[in-house]
Structure 1
């Protein structure tokens, strides 16, 4: 997710343009700021564990219906404190804050289910970092500018230019990886994900394997970190048909499944290829099946392989 400070500052920027300026007396700014940070209140689902939290994060609260419902609550809570403003005004500015939250979150690799429940797929532009210092500085400039039209227009122009620069950097990263892999993996389908300012993760998918690594779009260096063979179709179908498999596919669009036979059982391992910590992937899962492919044990391993959540099967 985009960091909460950036979201709060974005909400302040929106509300500060309402004409009253930076003040707690500016109810529209308070509404937009609360609207901008409220979608991440879904972190409260972590009280029921990481399985529930990661399964729900960036779904309802980040969707259009969720933003409208949250904004209704914000408007209802603030109306008694800002009697000079109508519920409709507070609701509208809370909606703007909520939309800014989901809009910014769409720019990183996690994405948001903006059209939930009509479409569960997360929308992601894969352009910005979770904390993007350039974006943060531009938001601060917006606050400093107040209602100065010239500075605001220049800042908008710089932001658009920065997005175009990120697109060009990603395209260069794509070409570098494609050129590096063309001899050994000519038909790979590439996904480029932001890691640091000039460094990107890549996932190259082929019919029989996946290749992952990093690429520096400025230094033009490509580094392959791993090559994973895909499992046979009937094993993969059994894994994806399980409760754990369905959860994992819903959780991440970029995953890999490996499987090994041991003592008459199949042990399948699922990896979320989006995020790495040193030499391992952040989120994993393990599924144990018998020789008839019936699930005996399902384990979700968020954040650390030693962190195990056993599912009821």
Structure 2
């Protein structure tokens, strides 16, 4: 989820914590642990300052793993105890642990996902039923928090919130399944599906769809129960060993391949000395454009002269990034 949603979720958990009678004497310390715990797994966002390749490859990776989900609360509890000596360490740890776990748990429901089972498995868990920012979830939390501040008992305000959200998540699973079935129905008469990606947008009834088959890639959107494929690409053989000899070692391309599950590629001679190798993630089509890409420029010896990974919405901006 986005930072704003994790903040309001932290406030809601703080309100819920007031139901614990052991929290009252140390409420400030517990609230501090919950609010920081609701954000700390995303500390890896600082990797953006290093470069996009490292960020894409590692965001929501180790900081959302099992060891760190257990480690963050211990670190925070120790620091809080230093700042607030004499507080109830056990309950600070319990509520901070719950906040960290809840952060990681809700992140598995969007299309970016997390490596929440690491080190048991490095597989990305991406249930793809909730958009990174879901206005319904965000507003529902604001309403519950408002009622709580107006004097409604937290068990009613937040109990109702979580009951409605549980129903909402089940509904999103049902919608995703229905759209997936409809999308497969429209293509399976001709091709055998290999991979299918159905993910939400910020609009409740609009979903992104990408399907990889043995021979073609299908990309489109659903509007309600209606599925429309905007693009159909014939699958190509992977770029040959001559082209990939140096490209496969490029940090940007390696990050792209570790993150993207459905993509296509293009090899283009752009001038007398330069060949462009472009990998295009098919999952994020928007307004006729595929913004998430990895681009490599190769010389006549197929050595990488420049490369880039990231979100680019115009060719002009992309060329500037490659030249930087």
Above 0.5 in TM-score?
A: yes
SS at match of 2:311: coil
Cα gap change, 1:234/1:276 in structure 2, threshold over 3 Å: closer, same or farther? Answer: closer
The answer to which structure, 1 or 2, has the higher relative contact order (CA under 8 A, 6+ apart) is 2
Ranges in structure 1 where 5+ consecutive residues have no aligned partner:
none
What's 2:62 paired with?
60
State yes or no: 1:161 paired with 2:167: yes
Instruction: Map 1:137-156 onto structure 2 (within 5 A).
Output: 137-140=139-142, 142-143=144-145, 144=147, 149=155, 152-156=158-162
Instruction: Indicate the larger mover: 27-36 or 178-187.
Output: 178-187
What's 2:307 paired with?
299
Deviation of 1:36 after TM superposition, in Å, equals 0.5
Q: Distance in 1 between matches of 2:58 and 2:189?
A: 41
Cα gap change, 1:151/1:81 in structure 2, threshold over 3 Å: closer, same or farther? Answer: same
SS at match of 1:16: helix
CA RMSD of aligned residues (A): 3.2
Q: 2:296 aligns with which of 287, 290, 294?
A: 287
Deviation of 1:166 after TM superposition, in Å, equals 0.8
Cα contact 1:272–1:281 (8 A) shared by 2 = yes
- Structure 1 residues 233-277: Cα deviation after superposition (integer angstroms, max 9, x where no partner): 462893884334322121222332233467697532111223234
Q: Which has the higher helix share?
A: 2
Q: Distance in 2 between matches of 1:134 and 1:119?
A: 32
Deviation of 1:194 after TM superposition, in Å, equals 0.8
Q: Distance in 1 between matches of 2:309 and 2:266?
A: 15
TM norm structure 1: 0.83
Deviation of 1:125 after TM superposition, in Å, equals 0.9
- Structure 1 residues 188-211: Cα deviation after superposition (integer angstroms, max 9, x where no partner): 642211112111111110123311
Q: Distance in 2 between matches of 1:54 and 1:23?
A: 42
Instruction: Map 1:4-153 onto structure 2 (within 5 A).
Output: 4-19=3-18, 25-140=27-142, 142-143=144-145, 144=147, 149=155, 152-153=158-159
Cα gap change, 1:259/1:81 in structure 2, threshold over 3 Å: closer, same or farther? Answer: same
Cα gap change, 1:152/1:87 in structure 2, threshold over 3 Å: closer, same or farther? Answer: closer
Ranges in structure 2 where 5+ consecutive residues have no aligned partner:
none
Cα gap change, 1:188/1:53 in structure 2, threshold over 3 Å: closer, same or farther? Answer: closer
Cα contact 1:11–1:100 (8 A) shared by 2 = no
Q: Distance in 1 between matches of 2:275 and 2:132?
A: 37
State yes or no: 1:245 paired with 2:245: no
Deviation of 1:92 after TM superposition, in Å, equals 3.0
